[in-house]
Amino acid sequence: MPENENAPSARGLSLLSGGLDSQLAVRILQRAGAYVEGVCFETPFFSSAAARKAASALGIKLHVIDFTDDEIALVQNPPHGFGGAMNPCIDCHATMIRRAGEMMERLGFDFVSTGEVMGQRPMSQNKQSLGVVEKSSGLLGRLLRPMSAKLLDPTIPEQEGKIDREKLLDIRGRARDRQIALAAEFGIVDYPSPAGGCKLTEEGYGRKLKDLMEHEGLGNRRLVELLNHARRFRLPDGTGVILGRDKGDNDMLKGDHALGTLVAPINCPGPTALLPGVKSEEDLRLATGLIAAYSRCDRLEGDVVVRISSADGSRDVPVPRPYDRAPFKPYQIC
Ligand code: SF4
């Protein structure tokens, strides 16, 4: 479908996740005569890959916003609370819309739109939640949800006749038949499943995030990014252990040596561990046992020797047998 930038009735910035509803919202607005550009957000908790792909397929310009600082502030203090995990969806969504609204003002667009469907998610997309999001985003009257627009009050661009309300839709609920039919009509074939994509909705990820928040805090962005990699342990005196799962993790953790103390075996294959802050000698001793337990030392006749390296220098320490993972399970976060 060609963009009609030359004679648009209205210019809209559409939140584009890459999911089907967000792609349909763009097409519906274009069909109603609007010129549409996309806006998406990226953080260590979710990527912009699907949005970039969708924008390319739709042939629209995409603005990618680094949303990390906003999201970190929200997971620490979500005014409307969390969903099922550490996902502050109502506030996250409202903040994204507010950021898009700021961009709308700055770049001279008429409205912000989303692919939300009323009633699709009982908690975050009922009429009340949609109203809360609109109010807290500060975009009263300029937030258009083309998928369910006819079930909602007309927005300012609709009232001004810049958008033909008759060409907007009245989809409600969780059924997907109308979206599937519309996808076929618009030739949209590539879209990720509606759920997924945001790590904050995963319970295991939430545990890691909460643990980091309570110990090292969320001030170091790299430590937040590392939540997407490796195993995690929290030792009794509070030392965190980020334990590589594979060569990729190990190499990456070596590159992050400036963040803390590295521990790795030197006489057999095994994981590299990064300890962002050693809280006690006892924790460090436990960490060396943990590394030995995860090393491949079956053919080793003597003890596993680990190297402990930090900004203060390095030392090699033999770890006495037995090497057993079971005692470390209570310390494992994921
Ligand atoms: S699923 Fe994640 S990205 Fe989406 S609104 Fe919720 S917290 Fe934000």
Q: Could you tell me the residue ranges of all domains in the chain? A: 11-199, 229-331
Instruction: Tally Cβ neighbours within 10 Å of residue 214.
Output: 10
- Please check whether the domain covering 11-199 is classified as CATH 3.40.50.620: yes
Enumerate residue ranges in the chain where pLDDT < 70. 1-8, 122-124, 194-196
**CB-ligand 1 contact for 201 (6 Å cutoff):** yes
**Cα 208 to ligand 1 centroid, rounded to whole Å:** 17
**Cα 198 to ligand 1 centroid, rounded to whole Å:** 6
**Cα 186 to ligand 1 centroid, rounded to whole Å:** 26
Which stretches of the chain are assigned E, i.e. beta strand? 11-15, 35-42, 62-66, 111-113, 143-144, 231-234, 240-243, 261-265, 273-275, 304-310, 313-319
Amino acid 127: pLDDT: 78
Residue 196 to residue 192: CA distance in whole angstroms: 8
CA–CA distance from 105 to each of 11, 52, 113, 223 (Å)? 11, 23, 14, 34
Which residue's CA is the closest to the ligand 1 atom numbered 6? 89
Amino acid 5: pLDDT: 47
Whole-model pTM: value is 0.88
Residue 11 to residue 312: CA distance in whole angstroms: 58
Amino acid 71: pLDDT: 98
Which residue's CA is the closest to the ligand 1 atom numbered 3? 198
Residue 205 to residue 209: CA distance in whole angstroms: 6
DSSP-H helix ranges across 120-160: 127-137, 156-159
Amino acid 195: pLDDT: 58
